[in-house]
A = this chain, B = another copy of it.
Amino acid sequence: MKAISIGLLGLGTVGSGVVQIIKNHQDKLMHQVGCPVEIKKILVNDLHKTRSAEINTQVLTNNPDDILQDPEIDVVIEVMGGVEETKKYLQSALQSGKHVVTANKDLMALHGSELLKLASENGCDLFYEASVAGGIPILRGLVDGLASDRITQLMGIVNGTTNFILTKMSSEGLAYEDVLKEAQELGFAEADPTSDVEGLDAARKMTILATLGFSMHIDLEDVKVSGITQITEEDLRYGKQMGYTMKLIGNAHREGEKVEVSVQPTFLSNNHPLASVQNEYNAVYVYGEAVGETMFYGPGAGSLPTATAVVSDLVGVIKNLRLGVNGRSAVAPQYPKRLKDDSEKYSKYFLRIHVQDEVGVFAEITSIFAKYGVSFEKILQMPVTKNETAEIVLVTHQASLTDIEDILVELKDLSAVKEVKSSYKVVRK
Contacts and interface: CB of A to CB of B under 8 A. Distances in A.
Contacts of A331: 31
Nearest to A141: B137
B29 A147 contact: yes
A32 B311 CA distance: 24
Interface stretch (A5-13, A100-108, A271-279, A372-380): A271-279
Nearest to A294: B298
Contacts of A291: 135, 298-299, 304-305, 308
A276 B271 contact: yes
Contacts of A307: 148, 290
A21 to B, nearest CB: 5
A304 B297 CA distance: 23
A291 to B, nearest CB: 5
Interface string A256-299: 00000000000000010101111001010000101111111111
Nearest to A324: B323
B273 A311 contact: no
A86 interface: no
B293 A281 contact: yes
A409 interface: no
A297 B294 contact: yes
A93 to B, nearest CB: 22
A329 to B, nearest CB: 13
Interface string A292-321: 111111110010110110011001000000
A288 B312 CA distance: 14
Nearest to A275: B276
A137 B144 contact: yes
Q: Which of A140, A146, A298 has the largest count of B CB atoms less than 10 A from its CB?
A: A298
B276 A147 contact: no
A297 B277 CA distance: 12
A212 interface: no
A334 B25 CA distance: 13
A282 B331 CA distance: 31
Contacts of A305: 290-292
B32 A147 contact: yes
A382 interface: no
Interface string A125-154: 000000000011100110011111100000
A28 interface: yes
Interface in A148-204: 148-149
Given A299-B291, A302-B292, A149 B308 contact: yes
B281 A271 contact: no
A124 to B, nearest CB: 18
A325 interface: yes
Given A137-B141, A273-B276, A276-B275, A28 B292 contact: no
A323 B325 CA distance: 8
A312 B135 contact: no
Given A29-B148, A148-B28, A136 B294 contact: yes
A299 to B, nearest CB: 5
A296 B298 CA distance: 9
A288 B21 CA distance: 13
16 contacts: A28-B146, A28-B147, A135-B292, A136-B294, A137-B145, A148-B312, A273-B297, A276-B276, A288-B308, A290-B304, A290-B305, A291-B305, A292-B305, A293-B299, A294-B298, A323-B323
* Closest CB pairs A-B (n = 5): A294-B298, A295-B297, A148-B311, A276-B276, A290-B304
Interface of A: 17, 21-22, 25, 28-29, 31-32, 135-137, 140-141, 144-149, 271, 273, 275-278, 281, 283, 288, 290-299, 302, 304-305, 307-308, 311-312, 315, 323, 325, 331, 334
